């Protein structure tokens, strides 16, 4: 079977990822969470006995990158030793504005790749009265052209037919460097055995990941070459050619209907969605609506999942008695139950965020938030990682690569962990349901308001820390937000569900492995102890008798003096300790520690009845609950987040400092919260 590696290249917001999803379906290797594509995503499809590996690359306007996500494209296209180095390339363009994409197309052609030019969004072009003479365009571009609508899946078969027999153009290169640089280019060509344009490209954009700098620097000094000038010359020369091509192949006539549509779209933006007052109000309303839905819609499926696993646990308790049965029912089954019970909440959150992204609303939020972000040392582009952080901090931190200002990017990376991620969501919903009464005013739920407040606290924390970093980190240059606002689109449910499934699957696999391992460890430590008596713990009575004497209980009690001022007992301490690895582990740890015995005693009910042995009162009172919420709001999410910060900042300095700072902040905030409530409430706690 023939194997072909195929790269998807194009400007931002031209529908590359939609095309990628349509071609690969669910057969994808890597899935990003909410936000722009910031790293290569790999998928597969088969056609006529040929196996295609398709690589979705971040959006870029040129092969001269201005940010780290664009550098991903540059690295791949120039590294023949990369395992994903493509055999062929599809350059995807917006049919309503092909002029933007022709610069990138020409550069990719000159690098020597066989190129298929894919014109997407035909419906948008027709609405705008844009007509393209395809046959004439083929003559100028000297490459195959396919017309598609990626969102609706139109034209995909044409791509599969064309791509197999695609060959690179016979013309050597489309860009003429001129006599002025010919000697320098020949020296580079002879030294590296590359074509004329690659030699020019090495001179115009030399980076250590391309080739060694010593030889190039020597050539530049010899011929008095400044890289930036070469880039400017190439861009200007290419746009002269592009201007001629478009004048002969593209015509535009805007109908009265389209004019009215554009005017209506502008009015929605100017008077509502990006309005300096109503824009913020509408955005907050959307968030309020999402968090209300999380509580209103997730409770029933969550209770059903808990009951289902409780039924299995109860059914098999006495069927196969013994340590292996206990290990499965108390070590493995609670972990699986917790993982699956997360799904309704995370599904609702990601679904609405994806709808906002698919419709084009997120781009408007970026534009809207730019003016607010500036005083905090950030810019509008920081909104993408911060909003992405609501799903998961790891891809959110990676998405900061599209911020071109290094200082703004570093600040964004360091404050993103303060955003409330989906791993914190199960903890918040559990604690809020324990301490906040289930009250409603019409359709507005009190618990939903508290949940929204926790997310707002995350935003306030991120912005507050940004101010501090803004004062201490040295400014390099002033950044400006230049972005293209995409047209409004009706979200395609299939695209949303595919992306949602990929994200949920990734969360279940990654978080599930961690939760399962921690739960097994908790079971082992809670089952055995150092004394002769506790080495034979009866797991059915673990929370009543033997847990305090187990290794787990002894570890928790060692921690208790440190966490007692926060209002926590040693059992909560075990949950805090286990959740250092990953926040979502807290819930599964509590499920293991508070071993459920009675039919009515689901985890929430069991925790409500838990009595603190020192005060003889319920441990989960309002003060302890708020203290716990504050602790998890300010502490670092997981070890994986620290690892990705190290990778993105290329230093252990920042993640270590960040972990120390966030842990200290979480402890102090929880301490002040609990002690304040204790003073105000007196002996009622």
Query: Both 212 and 313 in a single domain?
Result: no
- 220 φ, ψ to 5°? -65, -40
Whether 557 is covered by a domain: the verdict is no
- Residues 6 or more apart whose CB falls under 8 angstroms from that of 424 comprise 454, 583, 632, 633, 637
Q: What is the model's pLDDT at position 478?
A: 63
Query: Both 208 and 289 in a single domain?
Result: no
Residue of 206 and 50 predicted with greater confidence: 50
Write the DSSP string, 58-90. PP-SSSS-SSHHHHHHHHHHH-TTSTT--SEEE
Last residue within a domain, chosen from 449, 465, 493: 493
Whether 656 is covered by a domain: the verdict is no
Whether 654 is covered by a domain: the verdict is no
Predicted confidence band at 103 (pLDDT cuts at 50, 70, 90)? very high
Q: What is the model's pLDDT at position 266?
A: 80
Query: Both 292 and 220 in a single domain?
Result: no
Query: Both 107 and 184 in a single domain?
Result: no
Predicted confidence band at 480 (pLDDT cuts at 50, 70, 90)? low
Taking only the tens place, the pLDDT of each residue in 298-320 is 878 878 887 888 788 777 766 66
Predicted confidence band at 30 (pLDDT cuts at 50, 70, 90)? very low
Query: Both 424 and 387 in a single domain?
Result: yes
Q: What is the model's pLDDT at position 153?
A: 83
Predicted confidence band at 256 (pLDDT cuts at 50, 70, 90)? low
Average pLDDT in the 159-185 region? 83
Predicted confidence band at 28 (pLDDT cuts at 50, 70, 90)? low
Query: Both 195 and 246 in a single domain?
Result: yes
Whether 267 is covered by a domain: the verdict is no
- Residues 6 or more apart whose CB falls under 8 angstroms from that of 178 comprise none
**Is pLDDT of 111 > 80?**
yes
Q: Name the pairing type of β-strands 88-94 and 2-10.
A: parallel
**Is pLDDT of 598 > 60?**
no
d(CA 105, CA 89): 10
Whether 244 is covered by a domain: the verdict is yes
In sign, the C-alpha dihedral spanning 106, 108, 112, 114 is negative
**Is pLDDT of 35 > 50?**
no
**Is pLDDT of 329 > 70?**
yes
Q: What percent of the chain has pLDDT over 90?
A: 19
Q: What percent of the chain has pLDDT over 70?
A: 89
- 489 φ, ψ to 5°? -135, 145
Q: What is the model's pLDDT at position 664?
A: 95
Question: What mean pLDDT value characterizes the chain?
Answer: 82
Query: Both 7 and 153 in a single domain?
Result: yes
Q: How many CB atoms lie within 10 A of CB 660?
A: 11
Q: What is the model's pLDDT at position 402?
A: 77
**Hey, which of 196-200, 502-506, 541-545, 631-635 has the most confident mean pLDDT?**
631-635
The owner of tokens 């002033």 is: 478
Whether 576 is covered by a domain: the verdict is no
**Is pLDDT of 594 > 80?**
no
- The domain tally of the chain equals 3
- Residue 120 is part of a domain; what is its CATH number? 3.40.50.300
Determine the structural domain holding residue 139 and report its residue range.
Answer: 2-164
Residue of 220 and 321 predicted with greater confidence: 220
Query: Both 330 and 449 in a single domain?
Result: yes
- Cβ atoms of 619 and 569 within 8 Å: the answer is yes
DSSP letter, residue 211: S
Q: Which of 620, 289, 621 is nearest to 455 (CA)?
A: 289
3 DSSP β-pair partners:
51
> Helix 653-681 to helix 639-649 angle, to the nearest 10 degrees?
140
Taking only the tens place, the pLDDT of each residue in 63-95 is 998 877 888 888 899 888 888 999 999 999 998
Query: Both 377 and 352 in a single domain?
Result: yes
Range of weakest confidence among 99-108, 269-278, 328-337, 542-551: 542-551
Q: Which of 90, 120, 74 is nearest to 7 (CA)?
A: 90
Query: Both 212 and 302 in a single domain?
Result: no
Predicted confidence band at 649 (pLDDT cuts at 50, 70, 90)? confident
Last residue within a domain, chosen from 218, 252, 286: 252
Q: Which pairs count as long-range contacts for 253-256, CB under 8 Å and 24+ apart, including other chains? A: 253/129, 253/131, 254/128, 254/129, 255/129
Query: Both 119 and 196 in a single domain?
Result: no
Q: What is the model's pLDDT at position 540?
A: 39
Range of weakest confidence among 59-63, 259-263, 338-342: 259-263
Write the DSSP string, 536-589. G--GGGIIIIIGGGSHHHHHHHHHHHHHGGGT--HHHHHHHHHTTTBTTHHHHH
Average pLDDT in the 569-576 region? 89
Whether 505 is covered by a domain: the verdict is no
* CA of residue 60 relative to chain centroid, distance: 19
56 DSSP β-pair partners:
8, 41
Whether 196 is covered by a domain: the verdict is yes
d(CA 370, CA 379): 5
Predicted confidence band at 243 (pLDDT cuts at 50, 70, 90)? very high
Strands annotated E in 237-355:
250-252
Residue of 93 and 152 predicted with greater confidence: 93
**Hey, which of 19-23, 179-183, 672-676 has the most confident mean pLDDT?**
672-676
Last residue within a domain, chosen from 108, 140, 164: 164
Range of weakest confidence among 249-253, 314-318, 560-564: 314-318
The owner of tokens 């009575």 is: 541
Query: Both 309 and 377 in a single domain?
Result: yes
């Amino acid at each position: 079977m023939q194997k072909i590696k195929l790269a998807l290249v194009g400007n931002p917001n031209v529908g590359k990822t939609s095309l990628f999803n349509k071609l690969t379906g669910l057969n994808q290797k890597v899935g990003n969470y909410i936000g722009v594509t910031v790293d290569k995503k790999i998928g597969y499809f088969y056609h006529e006995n040929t196996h295609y590996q398709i690589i979705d690359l971040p959006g870029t306007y040129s092969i001269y990158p201005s940010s780290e996500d664009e550098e991903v494209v540059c690295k791949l296209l120039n590294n023949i030793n990369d395992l994903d180095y493509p055999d062929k390339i599809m350059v995807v363009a917006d049919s309503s504005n092909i002029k933007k994409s022709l610069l990138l197309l020409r550069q990719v052609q000159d690098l020597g790749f066989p190129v298929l030019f894919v014109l997407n969004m035909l419906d948008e072009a027709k609405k705008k009265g844009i007509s393209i003479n395809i046959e004439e365009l083929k003559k100028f571009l000297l490459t195959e052209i396919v017309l598609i609508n990626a969102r609706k899946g139109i034209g995909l078969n044409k791509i599969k037919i064309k791509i197999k027999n695609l060959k690179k153009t016979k013309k050597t290169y489309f860009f003429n460097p001129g006599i002025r640089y010919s000697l320098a280019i020949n020296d580079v060509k002879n030294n590296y055995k590359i074509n004329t344009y690659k030699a020019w490209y090495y001179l115009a954009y030399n980076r250590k990941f391309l080739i060694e700098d010593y030889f190039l620097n020597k050539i530049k000094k010899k011929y008095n070459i400044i890289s930036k000038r070469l880039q400017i010359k190439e861009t200007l020369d290419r746009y002269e050619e592009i201007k001629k091509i478009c004048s002969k192949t593209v015509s535009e006539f805007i109908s009265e209907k389209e004019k009215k549509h554009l005017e209506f779209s502008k009015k929605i933006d100017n008077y509502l969605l990006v309005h300096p007052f109503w824009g913020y109000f509408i955005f907050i309303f959307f968030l309020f609506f999402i968090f209300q839905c999380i509580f209103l819609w997730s409770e029933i499926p969550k209770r059903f999942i808990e009951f289902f696993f409780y039924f299995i646990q109860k059914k098999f308790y006495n069927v196969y008695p013994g340590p292996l049965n206990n290990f499965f029912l108390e070590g493995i089954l609670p972990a699986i139950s917790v993982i699956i019970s997360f799904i309704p909440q995370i599904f609702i959150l990601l679904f609405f965020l994806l709808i906002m992204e698919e419709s084009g609303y997120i781009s408007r939020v970026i534009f809207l938030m730019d003016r607010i972000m500036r005083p905090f040392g950030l810019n509008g582009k920081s909104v993408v990682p911060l909003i992405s952080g609501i799903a998961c901090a790891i891809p959110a931190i990676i998405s900061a690569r599209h911020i071109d200002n290094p200082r703004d990017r570093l600040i964004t990376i360091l404050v993103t962990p303060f955003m409330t991620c989906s791993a914190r969501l199960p903890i918040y919903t559990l604690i809020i349901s324990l301490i906040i009464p289930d009250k409603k005013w019409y359709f507005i739920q009190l618990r939903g308001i508290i949940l929204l407040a926790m997310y707002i606290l995350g935003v306030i924390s991120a912005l507050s820390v940004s101010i501090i970093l803004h004062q201490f980190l040295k400014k390099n240059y002033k950044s400006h937000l230049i972005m293209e606002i995409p047209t409004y689109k009706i979200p395609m449910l299939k695209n949303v569900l595919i992306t949602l499934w990929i994200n949920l699957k990734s969360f279940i696999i990654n978080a599930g492995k961690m939760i399962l391992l921690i739960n097994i460890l908790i079971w082992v430590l809670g089952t055995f102890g150092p004394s002769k008596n506790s080495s034979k713990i009866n797991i059915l009575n673990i929370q009543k008798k033997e847990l305090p004497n187990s290794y787990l209980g002894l570890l928790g009690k060692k921690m208790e003096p440190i966490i007692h001022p926060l209002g926590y007992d040693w059992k909560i301490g075990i949950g805090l300790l286990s959740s250092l690895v990953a926040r979502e582990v807290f819930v599964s740890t509590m499920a293991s520690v508070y071993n459920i015995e009675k039919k009515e005693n689901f985890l929430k009910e069991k925790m409500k009845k838990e009595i603190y042995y020192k005060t003889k009162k319920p441990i989960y009172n309002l003060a302890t609950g708020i203290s716990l919420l504050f602790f998890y709001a300010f502490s670092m999410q997981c070890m994986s987040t620290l690892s990705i910060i190290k990778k993105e900042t290329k230093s252990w300095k920042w993640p270590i400092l960040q972990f120390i700072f966030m842990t200290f902040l979480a402890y102090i905030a929880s301490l002040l919260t609990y002690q304040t409530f204790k003073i105000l409430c007196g002996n009622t706690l």
